[in-house]
Structure 1
Amino acid sequence: MIRAKKWVAGATAAVLALALVTAGCGTAKNENNAQGGGGGNKTFRVAMVTDVGGVNDNSFNESAWNGLQKLQQDKGVEVKYVESKNDADYVPNLTSFVKDGYDLTWGIGYLMGDAVKEVAKKNPDAKLAIVDFDLSKEGLKNVASVTFKEHEGSFLVGVIAGMMTKTNKVGFVGGMEFDVIKRFENGFKAGVKTVNPKADVVVVYTGAFNKPDLGKQAAASMYDQGVDIIFHASGQTGDGVFNEAKERRKAGKTVWVIGVDKDQSLTFGTDVTLTSMVKRVDNAVYTVSEKLLNGQFPGGRVLQLGLKEDGVGIPETTKQNVPADVLAKVEEYKQKIINGEIKVPATDKEYQAQFK
C-alpha cells in the first residue's frame, strides 16, 4: 500500500519558496466592483483578475483566490479580486488595480498573458504576476511568472485511466486549444498509451472555459461512443462534464470524470470523480505574494513547477476509487519522471514522436 502522504498533491509554501529567487519590491490598487475583504495591514494589498472562467470556476481561478484568502488570514494583508466577463476586460481590470496603488496585481491564466505584458510595460513601477504564462523573456523586471508542468501530472491520471477503463475508450475535453491545455492533453494521452497501447483516446475542444452546456454536450457524445472515463481541462465548462456523468450514474451507467486543477471530488463527489490532476495554484500565488511582502519579489523570473517540486499531482482521495495495484504503478511512473527516466511529451510533435 502506498503511504497516504505520497498522494498529497499540494506543494507547501516552503517548498515553493525555495524555488524562488529574490529581486526588488514596489507598489500597485483596486477596482470599484472588486470583491474581497480587507486585512489588518492596509499598507500591503494584493489583487487578482480572473479570466473569463470567473472566481467560482471550481478550477484554477478559485484555487488562486483561495491562496490569497489564506495570505490574508496568515499575514493580515488586504486581498481583492475582480472577474473578467470577456477578454476586453483584462487590460482595464488590471490597470484599475495598478492605478489604485495595489502592491501586487495577479493575472490568472494563460489568456491574460498579453494583457499583463501590456499593463506592465505601461506601468514599470507596478508589480504584477501571471499564472500559466511565461513573460520572463520579455525583459519585464516588474513581472513574476508561474507555470506548471501539467503534462507530468496528466501522465499520472492517464495511467489511471488506461489501467481502469473497461471499454478501452477514454476521453479528453479541453477548453481552448493552446499550449497549456495541449500539455494536459498530450501528457494524458501518453499515460494512457504507455500502460494500454490498445486504448482509444477521444479528444474534443469546446472552445470555451465558461460554458458548462458545451462540456455536457461533449461528455454526452463521448459516453455515447463508449468512452467510460473523461479527463477534462476546461475550467467551468468541465462542470457540464460532471453533470452529464452524474445523470448517467443515476441511470445505472458506470462512467467517470477525472477532475482538474483542484481535487474536484470535494465539489462533485467521489461517486463520479475517479481522481483529479491537481495544480497548486493556491500555494504558488501565496508564495510569490509573500516573497514581495518580504522584499524578495522574483521579478523577471519564471517559476516552473512539476512533479519534482510537488506542483502537480493527484490528491489523497484518489485511493477511494483507485485500487492499490494501480496506485503502485502510478507511483512507479512518478518516480521515473522525477528521475528523468521518462520524458513526458508536452506538444503534439513530442507525442507523435513517441507514439506513432
Structure 2
Amino acid sequence: MRRGFRRTLVAVTSAALMLSASACGGKTAEGGGGEGGDDALKVGLAFDIGGRGDQSFNDSAAAGLDRAAKELKIETEEISAKPDEPDSDKESRLRLLANQGFNPIIGVGFAYTASVNKVAKEFPDTKFLVVDADGCKVEGANVGAACFAEEQGSFLVGAAAALTSETGKIGFIGGVNVPLIQRFEAGYEAGAKEVKPDTEVLSKYLTQPPNFNGFKDVSLGNEAAKGMLDDDADVIYHAAGGAGIGVIKTVGGAGKWAVGVDADQYNQPALAGVKDRILTSMVKKVDVAVYDFVKSVSDGSFKAGPKEYDLANDGVGYATSGGHVDDIKAKLEELKKGIISGEIKVPAGA
C-alpha cells in the first residue's frame, strides 16, 4: 500500500490565479507524507465554511479524504470557503484546482452545486463531486452528487430525544434556514412526535441566507442554546456545523443532553469536556461518500449523477457512543426498520 500526501498549490503562473489562490486560503494539512509521484491521482477538495477542524460536516469529508490518502495512490489539496462569499469565488477556487491538474475535484456543501455544474462544463475530462448537492441535482457526464436522507437519521435522534426528555420540551438549532437544514428539523420533530405525540419541539435558525455564519459562529450557537435551556428544553439537537460546538458545550455545561450531527461528536476532541452529555449524534456518512467517489475515479468505475445515502445502505444513522441510548436502542431499531420498509414515512421538510 502506498500512502498519498497533501500539499499546497504551487506554480500558479498568472496574476489572476495567484489572486484566486490567495482568496481560497489553500494550505498544507498535517499528516499524509509518503510516496506520490507523477502518476498519482491528484484530488482537490474545496471545503464548506469552517473547513477542516469544524468537528462536524467538514471534518467528516476530511476523514474520507484521509482514508483515500492512506489506501490509494493519491495526492491531495484542500482549500476552504469564506463566509458570505459570492459564487464567483467558488468558481475561481474550482478552476484553480482544475487548471493545476487536480482530477477529481470535490465541492463540500450544497453551496457548491451551481459552481460545480458551471465549471465542470469547462473541464469535461475532470471528474467532480458535490457533497449535499442542492436538490440532489447535478449536470454533466463528469459530475456526481452525494445526497443524504438527513430526515431519516434525524427522525431516529428525535425519537431518542423525546424518549429521554424529562420536561417534554426538546430543541432544534439549525445553522442557516435553507431547505437542506429544514430536512433535519422535519425529521427530528416527526421522530419525537412518533414516540411521544405531546412533545414540544422548540426551533431556531441562527442566520438567514445569504448570511451563512450560522454554520461557523460558535457564539451564535451558544446564545441560541442558552435561550432554549431557559425555556426548559432539556435535549437539544443542532444542525449547525462549527457553530454547533457552542450548542453542545452550552447544553453539556448545563447538565442537559445535546445531540450531535454529521460525525459521532462524542468522539470529537474539542468536545471531550462535555462528551458525557452527548446523548447521540445523527451520523451522516460524508466520509464514506468522499472515499467512494475518489475510489471510483481511481478504479475507473465512476458514474455521473446522484447517489443517495440513507438508512437502507447505512449512509445515515445514529451513534451509540457513551451508551446513553442503550436502554432505548431496541425502540430506535424498530423505528429504523419501519422507515426502511416504508411503513413509516418521514417528512423531508416544509
TM-score, normalisation: structure 2: 0.85
Identity %: 38
Is residue 230 of structure 1 aligned with residue 236 of structure 2?
yes
Whole-Å separation in 1 of the counterparts to 2:135 and 2:104: 16
Instruction: Label 1:116 to 1:213 Cα distance change in 2 as closer, same or farther (>3 A).
Output: same
Paired residues for 1:99-114 under 5 Å: 99-114=99-114
In structure 2, do the counterparts of structure 1 residues 136 and 322 end up closer, same or farther at CA, with 3 Å as the change threshold?
closer
Secondary structure of 1:65's match? helix
What amino acid sits opposite 1:295 in the alignment?
A: G
The amino acid across from 1:285 in the alignment is: V
The question of whether the paired residues in 1 share the 8 Å contact of 2:248 and 2:259 is answered with no
TM-score by length of 1: 0.84
Whether the 8 Å CA contact 1:135–1:302 is kept in 2: the answer is no
Any gaps of 5 or more consecutive residues in structure 1?
A: 1-28, 250-254, 349-356
Task: Report the 3-state secondary structure (helix = DSSP H, G, I; strand = E; otherwise coil) of the residue aligned with 1:35.
Answer: coil
Alignment match, 2:210: none
Contact residue 51 and residue 90 of structure 1 kept, 8 A: no
Q: Which residue of 1 aligns with 2:225?
A: 219
Cross-structure match for 1:84 = 81
CA shift, 1:119, in A, is: 1.4
- How far is the alpha carbon of 1:240 from its aligned partner? 0.6
Quick one: higher RCO (CA 8 Å, sep 6+), 1 or 2?
1
Distance, in Å, in 1 between the alignment partners of 2:160 and 2:340 is 18
**For residues 341 and 48 of structure 1, do their structure 2 counterparts lie closer, same or farther at Cα, with a shift above 3 Å needed?**
same
Moved over 4 A (4+): 29-32, 134-138
Distance 2:137 2:159 in 1: 34
AA in 2 matched with 1:56: G
Structure 1 residue matching 2:111: 3-state secondary structure = helix
C-alpha separation in 2, matches of 1:261 and 1:99:
32
Q: Give the C-alpha shift of residue 136 in structure 1.
A: 6.8
Letter of the aligned partner of 1:311 in structure 2?
G
Q: Among residues 34, 39, 52, which one is paired with 2:27 in the alignment?
A: 34
Structure 2, unaligned runs of 5 or more: 1-7, 11-20, 208-213
How far apart are residue 30 of structure 1 and its match? Answer: 4.2
Per the alignment, residue 157 of structure 2 pairs with: 157
Q: Give distance in 2, aligned partners of 1:83 and 1:136.
A: 22
Corresponding position of 1:61: 58
In 2, the alpha carbon distance for the partners of 1:97 and 1:30 equals 8
Contact 2:218–2:243 under 8 Å retained in 1: yes
Rounded to whole Å, the distance in 2 between the matches of 1:182 and 1:137 is: 18
Between the two proteins, the alignment pairs up a number of residues equal to 312
Distance 1:302 1:49 in 2: 19
Alpha carbons of structure 1 residues 185 and 135: separation in structure 2 relative to 1, 3 Å: closer
The offset of 1:39, in angstroms, is: 5.4
Q: CA deviation at 1:111?
A: 1.6
